[in-house]
Amino acid sequence: MTLPAFVQGAWFAGALFFIFGLKGMSSPASARRGIIVAGYGMLTAIAGTFLIPGLQNIGLIAIALGLGSAVAWLSGARVKMTDMPQMVAIYNGMGGGAAAAIAAVEFVKGDTHDLATTALAVLGALIGAVSFTGSCIAWAKLQGVLRKAVRLPAQNALNVLLALGTVALGLATVVLAPARPELVCAFFGLALILGLVVTLPIGGADMPVVISLFNAFTGLAVGFEGYVLGNPALIIAGIVVGAAGTLLTQLMAKAMNRPISNILFVPMAAAGGGAAVEGEQKEIGAMDVAALMRYADRVIIVPGYGMAVAHAQHKVWEMTELLEEAGVEVKFAIHPVAGRMPGHMNVLLAEAGVPYDKIFDLDEINGEFAQTDVALVIGANDVVNPVARSDKSSPIYGMPILNADMARNVIVVKRGKGSGYSGVENALFYSDNCQMLYGDAQPMAGEIIQHLKAMG
Amino acid sequence: MDPVLTLYIFMLAAVAGFEIIARVPVILHTPLMSGSNFIHGVVVVGAMIVLGSADSVLEKGIGFFAVALGAANAAGGYVVTERMLAMFRSKGEGK
């Protein structure tokens, strides 16, 4: 059917707004404007859709729209910043589910005509369904509902079998179109199970990469269903997100030093190993830490997820402000995978009020540690472990790290002795220039603040 | 739709996606992921089209499900992205 110009125009405008919105989101200064522009694009596209002549079930559409957006809006407005990754995961899964459901309706109607349309409908359904159940599992893991990584026996073989089975059923659906309902049902069932089974064994620390991957998946699924529906706005928005998400996934996997295939198929726990570290950890008190930083010229703070878990970011920023008043130059160094999502730490620091021009990437700041008096590591571990540069037998060898060990003094705030999620001993903690401040990040930062105030 | 023409759209959209993201600083990766998550919420438009032409109860049921999920994707994605980006400020701007 040919649609009137105002409907097509609304979709065109929507696609245009999305592109400009995303473009705006590529710089901190214009990012907020970017999302608002994209928001107008969405409203325009939805409004235009209501104007399709002969649109049925308008009441049902309105109820579904209201219901879905109200629930998501309320939950999104309340979620804590530390819980943001799982929220993004669940919204993303819903998008994937919607794409799969669109394909399902097309099959029920028997509306898919030529080979290309059927093939893309099936492909979109497969990817969307995997993204749907996979994202639900990702949410459950990060939310702490599912605590353990569940590894089924012969996991990899099972994954491959399931994937092959799903693809075979999908192919059958394409070839036999219009396929029998039982076949289509079996295809959807298997695709949903595939998402579950693939995601279940993946540990919480690898989830950021998985969420990003599913985000790209959903984008592709939406793009494919856009073709089935003959809607270029869906194609453009979906494929742009698919491509962007793929790139983002690669960047993250690289920052974690693990190829994507590795994350999906090899559990981190099986890695372990690496040379044992000789020496002793030296302890330091909060007062000495305060004095050390107060009379330093340059301080770099390396925050890790441990800081966020301890809700210490506000205190750390208060401490930073005191140091700056005393004339100390303070910067924040963020590893690309600090937090549970790339850039998550930046968001958490921003929430605490830290301006983004004090926050630096690994590449920007790594050269500066050598001229730094104090590197304060709070709740970070693997991302500052120098064995990643030196010990070839270590599982984290080759991972880009922050060179905190090159600072004149290193202070590590840590709850107790023990290794990071990779299970690798941290050679930094035993080096001569490193001292440990044991305790929860929040009370420790509080103590340092007290001592700084006393010093005036 | 013309399959060949669509292929070109696919290609150009993919290049646009890569180019837009390639220059984004790490600091924005989380909002960007959630922002792109919002943008594929446009799937709600597709779901509306499908529900808008649904006849049987089964079609209507699945279509309703699709619209609700798509709307949640769009609304949720927007709220969390906007909340995150509202927090970013530079030294110059007041607190």
Q: Is residue A361 classed as helix, strand or coil in its secondary structure?
A: strand
Query: Who among B43, B54, B90 is closest to A57 (CB)?
Result: B54
Q: Do B77 and A99 touch (CB under 8 A)?
A: no
**Residue B75 in contact with partner chain A when CB distance is under 8 A:** yes
Are the C-beta atoms of residues A419 and A425 closer than 8 Å to each other?
yes
β-pairing verdict for A298-303 and A434-438:
unpaired
Largest CA distance in chain A: 80
pLDDT digits (tens, 9 = 90+) for A33-71: 999 999 999 999 999 999 999 999 999 999 999 999 999
pLDDT digits (tens, 9 = 90+) for B2-49: 888 899 999 999 999 888 888 777 778 888 889 999 999 999 999 999
User: Is A432 labeled as catalytic in the residue annotation?
Assistant: no
Name the one residue in this structure whose structure tokens are 């793009």. Answer: A223
**Residue A115 in contact with partner chain B when CB distance is under 8 A:** no
Beta bridge partners of A171: none
Radius of gyration of chain A measured on its C-alpha atoms: 25
pLDDT of residue A422: 63
Q: Do A68 and B9 touch (CB under 8 A)?
A: no
- Please give the residue of chain B at the shortest CA–CA distance from A61: B48
pLDDT of residue B19: 87
Cis peptide before A336 (omega within 30 of 0): no
pLDDT at A272 over 60: no
Tokens standing for B13? 């959209």
% of chain A with per-residue pLDDT over 70: 93
Query: Who among A61, A76, A236 is closest to B79 (CB)?
Result: A76
pLDDT digits (tens, 9 = 90+) for A308-354: 888 898 999 999 999 999 999 999 999 877 777 777 888 889 888 89
Through-space distance between the first and last CA atoms of chain A, rounded to whole angstroms: 76
Q: ipTM score here?
A: 0.93
Q: At what angle do helices A115-143 and A84-109 cross, to 10 degrees?
A: 150
